[in-house]
Amino acid sequence: MGEKRIIVVLGMHRSGTSAIARGLLALGVDMGNNLMPALANDNEKGFWEDFDIYTLNMALMGYLGIDWQTLRWIDWPDIKQCDLDTFKTQAVDIISDKMRNVSIFGMKDPRITVLMPFWKEVFDYLNVAPCYVIAYRNPLSVAKSLGKRNGISLEKSCYLWLQYMIPSILDSFGYPRLVVSYDMLMDQPTDQLHRIAGTLKLPGKEGILESVEEFGINFLEENLRHTCFELSDLYNNSAIPGEVITAYEALEKLATDDISIDSQDIHKIFFQLQQNMRDMKPAFKYITNLELSIDKYEKNICESKHDEIISALNEVLIERDSQLTGINRLLAKRNEEITSLNRVIAEKDALLAAMSASRSWRITQPLRFLARLFRDR
């Protein structure tokens, strides 16, 4: 595929990956020809991720027995034991199609972050040079958003955040990359987009400046950001693991270019964090199994309640049918009485008509008139 390039947006869900993807579009990066639509109360401004890539990632994670919120540290040797040839073929076909007439293609789906070894093999096969934009946001903001949208606890959100941020740094090593703070993007959109363009050496295009300004003015409305926490908020919250604070401090320095992302210090920090997460794999497995058991229990409870509700409704329907049967009997009896009464009235009318037509009735008519006359006096 020649000198064609792919820019991949990495990061945890609810961390500004959609905003960065939209920013890449403003910089002239093609984000795909089958974008997911915006979703009210989730991403009102759009996800800016290609539905074909999203669908493949969903299928792959399902095949691996995980989803985006499964608390499980994934090592590539574990994944390589699975036969992923079918998924790789699909991925190669999808990327080839997306890049057929495109020189710089952008990929955004947070799931890519935990599937990086898979996608890097796809890029190598296609001879496409990837580069990475690593999005991050204060873990408390992420947790609050996930708690509202998905009911995920603060503690679990923190470890999920680590599960995405650690491979973002380690698995992107050796490629052009930078870290972008969602809060800084909201506060300084133009500066951050120029920083992305400069670091990744994106070619300038006519009208690009106008697109960047439009992105900052019309897309990044302040109401997109519902929370904004500081580093001190992490220190003051006893529920925040020390590993989260360590990672966040390092990311803050990377986002302000105070330290090189390729420095030995950064590599040591995130390599140690990775080892810590690996050491917790048994605990994560226990937690995941516990969640599955709870989900199964809640499902059984819901099904039991569902059966109880159906049974109660059936009893109500039986009682209603009984009442309707009684009402129908009353209506039938009333109809019989009305029919009988109509028969009596018809017979009376016939008798009166016959009497009025008789000869004796006509002969006695003058006498009846005189009787009425004297009665009225």
Distance CA 293, CA 335 (A): 62
Whether residue 76 contacts residue 117, with contact meaning beta carbons closer than 8 Å, is answered with yes
Which residue, chain included where needed, has tokens 């699909």? 90
Tell me the CA distances in angstroms from 264 to 191, 245, 270, one per residue in order: 27, 19, 10
The dihedral of CA 338, 339, 345, 349: what is its sign? positive
Whether residue 224 contacts residue 143, with contact meaning beta carbons closer than 8 Å, is answered with no
Residue (of 187, 177, 188, 164) closest to 247 by Cα position: 164
Which residue, chain included where needed, has tokens 């009893």? 315
Both tokens assigned to 313: 């409704």
| Residue ranges per structural domain of the chain | 5-279, 297-377
Identify any residues that bridge with 179 across adjacent strands, giving them in sequence order: 134
Identify any residues that bridge with 135 across adjacent strands, giving them in sequence order: 180
Architecture of domain 5-279 in this structure: 3-Layer(aba) Sandwich (3.40)
Residue (of 25, 66, 258) closest to 160 by Cα position: 66
Rg (C-alpha) for the chain, rounded Å, is 38
Cα 173 to chain center, whole Å?
Answer: 31
Residue (of 351, 183, 336) closest to 251 by Cα position: 183
Whether residue 179 contacts residue 254, with contact meaning beta carbons closer than 8 Å, is answered with yes
For 116-159, what is each residue's pLDDT tens digit? 999 999 999 999 989 999 999 999 999 999 999 899 999 999 99
Segments of the chain scoring below 50 in pLDDT: 1-2, 206
